[in-house]
Amino acid sequence: MLKVENLVAGYSGIRALRGVSIDVAGGEFVAVIGANGAGKSTLLNAISGIIRPTSGTVALDGHQLEGKPAHVIARSGLLQVPEGRQILPDLTVHENLRLGALARHGRTPDFDIEGILKLFPRLEERLKQPAGTMSGGEQQMLAIGRALMGAPKVLLLDEPSLGLSPLMADHVFSALVQLHSRGLSILLIEQNVHRALEVTQRGYVIDQGQVVHQGASADLATDDSLIQHYLGQEPATA
Amino acid sequence: MNYFSQYLPLADIFLLALGFAFSQQVVLRAGVFSVATAGFASLGAYCSAILVTTYGWPAPAAIAASLLFGTAAGWCLSLPLARLRGIYQAIATLAFVQVVIAVMLFATSITGGGLGINSIPKSVGTGTLLAAAIITGYVMFAMQRSGIGRAFDAIQQEETVAAVLGVSIRRYHALAFTISGAIAGLFGGLQSLNTYTLTPSSFSFTFVIMVLGYIVVGGRRSAWGPVVGVAFLTLLPELSRGLAEYRPIVTGIVMIAVMIFLPLGLADTFILSLKRRKRQGNLVEGGTHVRSAS
Amino acid sequence: MIAQQILNGVITGSIYALFALGFTLVFSVHRVLNLAHGGVFMVSALFAYYLVTSGVSIWVAAVAAALAGGVVSGLIEIVALRRLRRFPPHVMEFAALITTLGADIVIINIGHKLTDAQTVRFPFGTFPNVFFNLLGLRISFLQIAVLLTVGAMLLFLMYYLYRTPVGLKLRAVASSEKAARLMGVNPDAVYLQTFFISGVMAGIAGVLIALSFNSISAHMGEPYMLKAFVIIVLGGLGSIPGCVMAAIFFGVAQTLCVVYLPPGAPDIILYSLLFLVLLVKPSGLMGSAAAISIVGRRA
């Protein structure tokens, strides 16, 4: 469904991404993990068109997307939930959700506002309030809900658990699992390696702007030396 | 746009404009978006003109008074304004300029109102202007190399970083206002004793625009910026007569084009590209470090 | 007598509001003070003048002038601002002032050449010169038209911003351009639209103000630009209703000052007031109730 090949990109002359190839099949839940500064967010932003890749290809359902402006890529069904959520703080929750629907571009969404409120019941009582007044976890739910309103073919998530309490992160991850079970293709970028590998099917490890490892998430999760070496994290204790 | 009478020798036009451009640059350099130069210049000009015509002061004393008056005005204005930022500062200083113009129009008995002050004896020639411009330019160069220059740069680039580095933003903003007031007061005084007449509209919105234009075109950082900007905007159209009629239109187009293509201004872009070339030479030697930096 | 002065002040204020609404709209979406707004305003008035003198009715001329204003304003966005958005906000803020100033200088001087630096006037009887007496107050048909236009513009903007999908996009871009792009909103299109609407408003204002004072000159926008600064600050930087309230407040205050104070003094007082408001209450004089910036209901 989503096929990224040899993607090269960077900021102001520094090549943060040096030829990355990944793919996400229809209905698949894939993780990209890596240490801070490994190039994960650059990868997502290059896919979404926030930064323009210098070379390489991005294809969604066989349509080439690389080099197109971000809003065109979003309308074609590749919807990103950006790092730090980027909800529109001055707009109400309801308005934020309505905004998400603008990216549909003729596709029939699996979720309308009611469906999203079922997925995230906490948002219901907050519909009329400015999104900026909610907690970080609620904002993350809103950001995911907003992307779902746009009928994504592939949902891209950039560090959804960043800055959330463990309890809130649980809520978010279980919602993602639910979405996956309903057939949505998801590409998840996470620093929280253990949680990411728990919920996903496959994973890529990125280091210094390149894919250094890939495989089934369960296998990656048990490879302690890999995790220690590339991610600088202690192996799972729990 | 021709607030300088076209009968003035070209050198005088250039040198006066250069002085005002320095005054404008000091504030922009420090990250203060002030357009108060017009107000300071007006105060300085009226100060000298009134002292000479009404009270019969000798020219040097009157100009010294203008300098002091400008300095004081800059310092006073800095007290409230150093806390504002960006667009707020721009609008507040524009309000200051308007208040000065309105006061000059209103206080007819002292300033001559809309008719202004006429037949001011001409006691400032090209030589004096040149000396003043060179001294001001030297001060600007010296400041560029001193700690003040570095503090200004830090503030302009990133205020939070500057604050972390222990640079007191308010103090440096106040300093920038004061220096800007001093330079504008001085050159305002010089102008009124150079050009025979003075009206409130000599330092109006048009003046604000022209002076901003000098710095935008020339550059905000290097002391060469004002020189290049003033030369570009005053001398070039004057020298090519056919263009003189379209001078304002050319100025407008140049302002847009420079901001879009060379946002740092002519002088700064040139200096930066020289530095880059130097640095790139160094980078090739130490090229192995680049990878780990990414 | 005082009632008549207040009414005159309200009308003067409405004239300021006509001018300032489009200026405020651009500021609230872009955070850009479009210094070429006065130029657009002048171009439209001049365009209407040429149409009227070549035999077109004032109503048709006004519509054409409004559209012309929109087109010129859109061009300014494309030429002078679009390419600046790659800079970080604080650089963009400064650069935008300079490029719009440059655009204004170009427009004004083209107008200067077209009019030969003269003030031109609509032919006598272009607009029906009818007066009404209401409760002892005198008001002209044109003044009523000004009041109605301000009201209509305000209603239109509020409806457009808060009740239409386009308005939602616009507020999204104003709130966070990156997030809006990720939701499939094309910021270029939004900015262009904003400038077009702002230009149409400047155009309508240009024609009405030119009719009100029956004079059109290249520099006619400048005094209004200065007043628009005052109004945008008093109204709470980017609030649409705040803008109208501030404009009317300003108009009444100015009219009363002119009547009861010696000539020349009102300007000193009004600009000093602007200065003080910026120092004491940069969020605007109109209070938090009116400070509904277009991106939402800010406290």
Contact B249 C33 (CB under 8 A): no
- Residues of chain C in contact with residue A92, where contact means CB-CB under 8 angstroms, are 296
Distance of CA A110 to the CA centre of its chain: 18
Give the angle subtended at the CA of A75 by the CAs of A70 and A76, to the nearest 5°: 100
Q: How far is CA C263 from CA B240, C143, C193, in A?
A: 44, 25, 42
Whether chain C has a CB inside 8 Å of the CB on A56: the answer is no
Confidence of residue C233 (pLDDT cuts 50, 70, 90): confident
pLDDT cut 90: percent of chain C above it: 43
Q: Which of the four pLDDT bands, split at 50, 70 and 90, describes residue B170?
A: confident
Q: Domain total for chain C?
A: 1
Q: What residues of chain A lie within 8 A of the CB of C175, using their CB?
A: 88-91
Residues of B in contact with A54 (CB under 8 A): none
**Which residue in chain A is spatially nearest to C186 when comparing CA positions?**
A71
Instruction: Report CB contact under 8 Å: C33, B252.
Output: no
Mean pLDDT, chain B, rounded, equals 83
* Chain B partners within 8 Å of C102 (Cβ): 213, 251-256, 259
Size of interface A-B (CB pairs under 8 A): 8
For C64, how many CA atoms within 13 A lie in the half-sphere containing its CB? 13
Q: How far apart are the first and last CA of chain A?
A: 34
Predicted local confidence at residue A32, as pLDDT: 94
- From chain B residues 254-293, the ones with a CB under 8 A of any chain A CB are 291, 293
Our CA angle for B167, B172, B175, nearest 5°, is 155
Q: Which residues are CB-neighbours of A238 under 8 A, at least 6 positions away?
A: A194
Looking up tokens 């904002």, which residue turns up?
A: A139
The reply to whether C105 falls in a domain is: yes
Fold assignment, A2-90+153-231 = Rossmann fold (3.40.50)
- Give yes or no for C103 touching B (CB within 8 A): yes
CB-CB neighbors (< 8 A) of C226 in chain B: 94, 98, 205
Q: Which ranges in chain A belong to alpha helices (H)?
A: 40-48, 70-75, 93-101, 113-119, 136-149, 166-181, 193-199, 217-222, 224-231
A151's tokens: 């009928």
Count contacts between B and C (CB, < 8 Å): 117
| Residues of chain C contacting A95 with CB distance shorter than 8 Å | 168, 171
Assess A91–C contact: CB distance below 8 Å, yes or no: yes
B143 close to C (CB below 8 A): no
The answer to whether A98 contacts chain C (CB < 8 Å) is yes
Biggest distance spanned by C-alpha atoms of chain A: 49
Question: Looking at CA atoms only, how far is residue C184 from chain B in angstroms?
Answer: 27
Q: Measure in Å the smallest separation between the Cα of B290 and chain A Cα atoms.
A: 8
Distance from CA of A11 to the nearest CA of B (A): 10
B126 touches chain C (CB under 8 A): no
Record: contact C91-B263, CB cut-off 8 A: yes
Neighbors of chain A by Cβ distance (3+ pairs < 8 Å): B, C
- Domain locations along chain A: 2-90+153-231
Determine the Cα–Cα distance for residues A188 and A179; give it in Å rounded to an integer: 13
- Each residue's pLDDT tens digit, C146-188: 999 999 999 999 999 988 988 999 988 888 888 889 889 999 9
Rounded Cα gap, residues C55 and C63, in angstroms? 15
With contact defined as beta carbons under 8 Å apart, do B67 and C250 qualify?
no
Within 8 A by CB and 6+ apart from B145, the residues are none
Both tokens assigned to B215: 């710095």
Contact C296/A90, CB-based, under 8 Å?
A: yes
ipTM of the complex: 0.84
Query: What is d(CA B215, CA B225) in angstroms, rounded to the nearest whole number?
Result: 6
Are B102 and C93 an interchain contact pair (Cβ–Cβ within 8 Å)? no
Domain assignment present for residue C110? The answer is yes
Q: Phi and psi dihedrals of A163, rounded to 5?
A: 75, 5
- Give tens-digit pLDDT for B179-194: 999 999 999 999 999 9
Q: Is the pLDDT of residue B123 over 80?
A: yes
Angle at C79 between CA C185 and CA B271, to 5 degrees: 110
Q: What pLDDT, on a 0 to 100 scale, did the predictor assign at position C295?
A: 46
| C176 interaction partners in chain A (CB closer than 8 Å) | 86, 88
Q: How far is CA A4 from the centre of its chain?
A: 15
Checking if the pLDDT of B149 tops 50, the result is yes
Q: Which one-letter amino acid corresponds to residue B92? A: A
Averaged pLDDT of chain A:
89
In a domain? residue C15: yes
- Enter the tokens of residue C121: 């006037």
HSE (side-chain half, CA atoms, 13 Å) at C23: 35
Residue of B nearest to C109 (CA): B249
In chain A, which residues have their Cβ closer than 8 Å to the Cβ of C172?
88, 91, 99
Query: So what's the pLDDT on residue C187?
Result: 92
State the smallest CA–CA distance between residue C107 and chain B in angstroms.
Answer: 8
pLDDT, tens digit (0-9, with 9 covering 90-100), for B60-117: 999 999 999 999 999 999 988 877 777 788 888 988 999 999 999 988 888 888 888 8
* A170 burial level (CB within 10 Å; 0-12, 13-18, 19+): middle
Q: Under DSSP, is residue A15 helix (H, G, I), strand (E, B) or coil?
A: strand
Query: Is C171 within 8 Å of chain A by CB?
Result: yes
Q: What value, to the nearest 5°, has the Cα angle with vertex C88 and ends C81 and A75?
A: 70
Q: What is the CA B71 to chain-centroid distance, rounded?
A: 14
Q: Which residues of B touch A14 (CB under 8 A)?
A: 293-294
The residue of chain A with its CA nearest to that of B290 is A14
Q: Do the chains contact at A10 and B294, CB–CB below 8 Å?
A: yes
pLDDT at C28: 87
pLDDT for res C291: 39
> Of all residues in chain A, what percent carry a pLDDT higher than 70?
96
Structure tokens belonging to residue C286: 């109109």
Task: State the helix-helix crossing angle for C141-163 and C2-30, rounded to 10 degrees.
Answer: 30
All domains of chain B in start order, with CATH: 10-288 (1.10.3470)
Would you say A93 and A122 are in contact if contact means Cβ atoms under 8 Å apart?
no
The string over B82-99, giving b where at least 16 C-beta atoms fall within 10 Å of a residue's C-beta and e elsewhere, is: bebbbbbbbbbbbbbbbb
Of the partner residues A69, A90, A105, the one whose CB lies closest to the CB of residue C295: A90
The secondary structure of residue A92, as a DSSP letter, is B
Using alpha carbons, list the distances in angstroms from residue B259 to A4, B33, C96, C216: 37, 16, 8, 31
Q: Which residue has the tokens 């054409």?
A: C64
How far apart, in whole angstroms, are the C-alpha atoms of residue B117 and residue B20? 21
The SS3 of residue C149 is helix
Q: Do A75 and C182 touch (CB under 8 A)?
A: no
- Give the residue from C28, C168, C182, C237 with the most A CB atoms within 10 Å of its CB, the best one to mutate: C182
Could you tell me the strand order of the sheet in which A2-11 lies?
A: A14-24, A2-11, A55-60, A63-64
Inspect the interface and report whether the beta carbons of C93 and B98 lie closer than 8 Å: no
CA atoms within 13 A on the CB side of C262: 7
Rounded Cα–Cα distance for residues B261 and C83 (Å): 9
Model confidence over A38-57: pLDDT tens digits?
888 899 999 999 888 999 99
3-state secondary structure string across chain B: CCCCCCCCCHHHHHHHHHHHHHHHHHHHHCCCCCCCHHHHHHHHHHHHHHHHHCCCCCHHHHHHHHHHHHHHHHHHHHHHHCCCCHHHHHHHHHHHHHHHHHHHHHCHHHHCHHHCECCCCCCCCHHHHHHHHHHHHHHHHHHHHCHHHHHHHHHHHCHHHHHHCCCCHHHHHHHHHHHHHHHHHHHHHHHHCCCCCECHHHHCHHHHHHHHHHHHHHCCCCCHHHHHHHHHHHHHHHHCHHHHCCHHHHHHHHHHHHHHHCCCCHHHHHHHHHHHHHHHHHHHHCCHHHHHHC
C288: confidence class by pLDDT, cuts 50, 70, 90: very low
Domain interval for residue C17: 2-221
Reading the block at residue B201, the tokens are: 């509209």
A91-128, pLDDT tens digit by residue?
Answer: 889 999 998 988 888 888 888 899 999 999 999 999 99
Lowest mean pLDDT among B84-88, C128-132, C208-212: B84-88
CA pair distance B141, C262, nearest whole angstrom = 48
pLDDT digits (tens, 9 = 90+) for A133-143: 999 899 999 99
- For residues B82 and B91, give the distance between their C-alpha atoms in angstroms, rounded to a whole number: 13
Q: How are beta strands A202-207 and A29-34 bridged, if at all? A: parallel
Q: What is the pLDDT of residue B258?
A: 85
Alpha-helical regions (H) of chain C: 2-30, 37-53, 58-76, 89-115, 141-163, 165-175, 177-182, 187-213, 222-234, 240-260, 265-280, 287-290
Helices (H), A39-102: 40-48, 70-75, 93-101
Residue B208 identity = V
Residues whose CB falls within 8 Å of the CB of residue C273, separated by 6 or more in sequence, listed in order: C230
Which residues in chain A touch residue B294, judged by CB atoms under 8 angstroms apart?
10, 14-16, 208-209
